Amino acid sequence: MIEAAIYYAYGALCLALIFNLWRLFAGPSIIDRILAVDTMVINVIALIIIYSIHQSTPLYFEAALLFAMFGFVSTVAYCKFLRRGDVIE
């Protein structure tokens, strides 16, 4: 049963990533693209965690944690760059 749930989750998350990619290409404003990248990062975190349940290993948590941190920092840096024209003032 867990196997079936995991395959369903793979499908749903891949579809979600395709939706995000569509928003990334379609835009229209640059904030839409930033939002799409931010959502993609969160979906990838979910995908990594589901994969680690599938493999029954806790090895992937550091990868998920790093994704979360880099996703947050890069979103903030993009927005800061748009507002101030500079990231570190």
Partner 1 sequence: MDNIGEILVSALIVIGATFALVGSYGLVRLPEMMTRLHAPTKATTLGVGGALLASMCHFIFFEGTLSIHELLISFFLFLTAPITAHFMTKAYLHIRPDIGEHLPKPEGGDWSTYETPNGDIRPRT
84 class by beta-carbon count within 10 Å (0-12 exposed, 13-18 middle, 19+ buried):
exposed
- Binding positions for partner 1, rule: CB under 8 A: 1-2, 4-6, 8-9, 12-13, 15-17, 19-20, 22-23, 29-32, 34-36, 38-39, 42-43, 45-46, 49-50, 52-53, 56, 58, 61, 64-65, 68-69, 72, 75-76, 78-80, 82-83
- To partner 1, the closest distance from the beta carbon of 7 in angstroms equals 10
Closest CB to partner 1 among residues 39, 86: 39
Q: Quick one: three-class SS letters along 24-72?
A: HHHCCCHHHHHHHHHHHHHHHHHHHHHHHHHHCCHHHHHHHHHHHHHHH
- To partner 1, the closest distance from the beta carbon of 18 in angstroms equals 8
DSSP three-state, residue 2: helix
- To partner 1, the closest distance from the beta carbon of 88 in angstroms equals 15
